[in-house]
Every structure is written in C-alpha cells, then in structure tokens.
Amino acid sequence: GVGPSDASPDEGVVEDLPLIDERAVEQLTEGLISHYLPDLQRSKSALQELTQNQVVLLETLEQEISKFKECNSILDINALFSEAKHYHNKLVNIRNEMMMLHEKTSKLKVSVINI
C-alpha cells in the first residue's frame, strides 16, 4: 500500500534543477540580441527615412501654401487693376461727354451771337 514512507513525486525536483550558468545566460542573451538587432536596426533606419521624408513633405507643402498665398495677393492686385481700368474708362467717357457738351454750347453761343 501507499504509506507515508513513500516519496512524493515532487520531492527532489528542486535539487535536480541545475545551477543557472551565468555564462550560458550571457550567451543566450547575446544570441537573442544578435537575432533581433538587425531587424531593430532596419526598423530604426526605415523610421528615420520616413521621418526625413515627412520633413521634406512638410517643407514642400509650406512652399506650396506660400505660392497659393502669393497667387491670392496677385489675384487681388489684378482685381484692383481691372477695377482701376474700369473707372479710368468711365472717367474718359465723362471727359469726352463734357468736351462734346462744351463744343455744343460754344456752337450754340456762336449761333446765338449770329442771330
């Protein structure tokens, strides 16, 4: 039968565990690092490249925005010029009308004098 003298299955397991060899741990760590490091370095350089591209993109966008701002101010200036042209034409027409009126009145004066 099973008595208290029988050894429990767990007994002696702790003693069976080998002492952790620090050298082995070091080698395992180095192995893990050498396994993952290239991927990490590739990821790092890919991220750096991405960041640089974003900086370039942002600078380009800023330049484009400033071009649009310039275009807007040029459009404003163009509107101003066309408005000025319009008013200039109006003034020229008024002047022509006044000259015609002046001619008519002076003709009238002449004809009145001749009566």
Looking up tokens 């429990």, which residue turns up? 8
Q: Tell me: the pLDDT tens digits for 86-104?
A: 999 999 999 999 999 998 8
Q: Tell me: the pLDDT tens digits for 49-75?
A: 999 999 999 999 999 999 988 888 888
pLDDT of residue 51: 94
Split at pLDDT 50, 70, 90, the class of 3 is low
| CB burial readout 39-68, b (16+ within 10 A) else e | eeeeeeeeeeeeeeeeeeeeeeeeeeeeee
Q: What is the pTM of this model?
A: 0.40
Distance of CA 14 to the CA centre of its chain: 62
